[in-house]
Structure 1
Amino acid sequence: MYKWRRKPKIAPLHKRRRLRMIMAGYNPKGVERMNEITYSKQGDYLIPDLTLPTEPELPLGRYAMLHRSYLEQHKRVTYLNLLTSGRLNAHLHKVEQTALQRLELLTKQLSAEQGVTEELKEKDPMQWIGLINNIRSQAEEVILSELIYS
């Protein structure tokens, strides 16, 4: 039926070899430490003072924020690579600009295809608004599936 297993004994943190390697004062074979990275001492350990590279502030809109949250949740490695290399804002700005250009292009193409013209706008504004809203929804759905969530 059931086999009882003994729980393995876990060594205290200070006895684990890999944690001893990062303890303050541990320097095997006189290895030279990097001068570029500064460390702050917390307890017995040296923690590196790491900072992200500065990025220019670019205006980010709705599509950029949607793409950012998608990258954070589903493409974690890509997100962290862009963030640590200082290219995240530039990438998100490019995605935003591409999405807006594509939205405008698709809206024009779909409205020409479905016969939504300025004459219809003058004759029946309510029908024109309904058709334009449907066209924008279709275009946005294409953009979200092909550009933002991929």
Structure 2
Amino acid sequence: MKKNGLSYTLHGDYYLPDLEINEEEPTYGKYGIMRKQFLIEHRSAKYQYLVLTGKLTEHLNQADKEVKEKVEMLIEQMAEQWGVTEELKMQDQMEWVRRMNNIKANAEEVVLKENIYL
């Protein structure tokens, strides 16, 4: 019997899904891990669906890739907007590091709200 893209086998009076454990190690990064934790805690039905259909790793890798790209792009834009340049880096490295850390934290906060926590 096949339903919802899964195959089922009759065991006694019940049809149980034929599940396989995927032995490959997940390759997603920091943002993929954050997305997974959010799904487990706040979107359990979606998490279970992704696990059962074997699409969890693909979903988490995609989320990780998208967030990384958006954070990097936003960091570049914010650094330019706030005047954090290579010149500042040569003149005052500690100030440059402080500003870049602040920019990265702000960029991550914006992107995470839009892409991980929804």
Could you state the TM-score of these two structures normalised by the residue count of structure 1?
A: 0.66
1:110 partner amino acid: M
Structure 1 residue 128 and structure 2 residue 96: aligned?
A: yes
1:68 paired residue number: 36
Is the 1:99–1:143 contact (alpha carbons within 8 Å) kept by the matching residues of 2?
A: yes
Please give the per-residue CA displacement for 1:22-43, whole angstroms capped at 9, x wherever unaligned: xxxxxxxxxxx99x6263x8xx
How far 1:48 sits from its partner (Å)?
4.3
Q: Which secondary structure does the structure 2 equivalent of 1:37 belong to?
A: strand
Structure 1 residue 106 and structure 2 residue 74: aligned?
A: yes
Structure 1 residue 115 and structure 2 residue 83: aligned?
A: yes
Alignment of 1:40-79 (within 5 A): 48=16, 50-52=18-20, 54=22, 57-79=25-47
How far 1:50 sits from its partner (Å)?
4.1
Could you state the TM-score of these two structures normalised by the residue count of structure 2?
A: 0.83
CA-atom RMSD in angstroms: 2.6
Structure 1: unaligned runs, 5 residues or longer: 1-32
Sequence identity, in percent? 32
Is the 1:60–1:93 contact (alpha carbons within 8 Å) kept by the matching residues of 2?
A: yes
Question: Which of these two proteins has the greater Rg computed from alpha carbons?
Answer: 1
How far 1:51 sits from its partner (Å)?
2.0
- Return the structure number with greater relative CO, CA threshold 8 A, min gap 6: 2
Is the 1:56–1:89 contact (alpha carbons within 8 Å) kept by the matching residues of 2?
A: no
Structure 1 residue 86 and structure 2 residue 54: aligned?
A: yes
1:121 partner amino acid: K
2:9 paired residue number: 37
Is the 2:9–2:15 contact (alpha carbons within 8 Å) kept by the matching residues of 1?
A: no
Higher helix share: 2
1:96 paired residue number: 64
Q: Which secondary structure does the structure 1 equivalent of 2:9 belong to?
A: coil
Structure 2: unaligned runs, 5 residues or longer: 3-7
Aligned residues: 113
Q: Which secondary structure does the structure 2 equivalent of 1:115 belong to?
A: coil
In the aligned structure 2, how far is the partner of 1:87 from the partner of 1:67?
14
Higher strand share: 2
In the aligned structure 2, how far is the partner of 1:74 from the partner of 1:46?
29
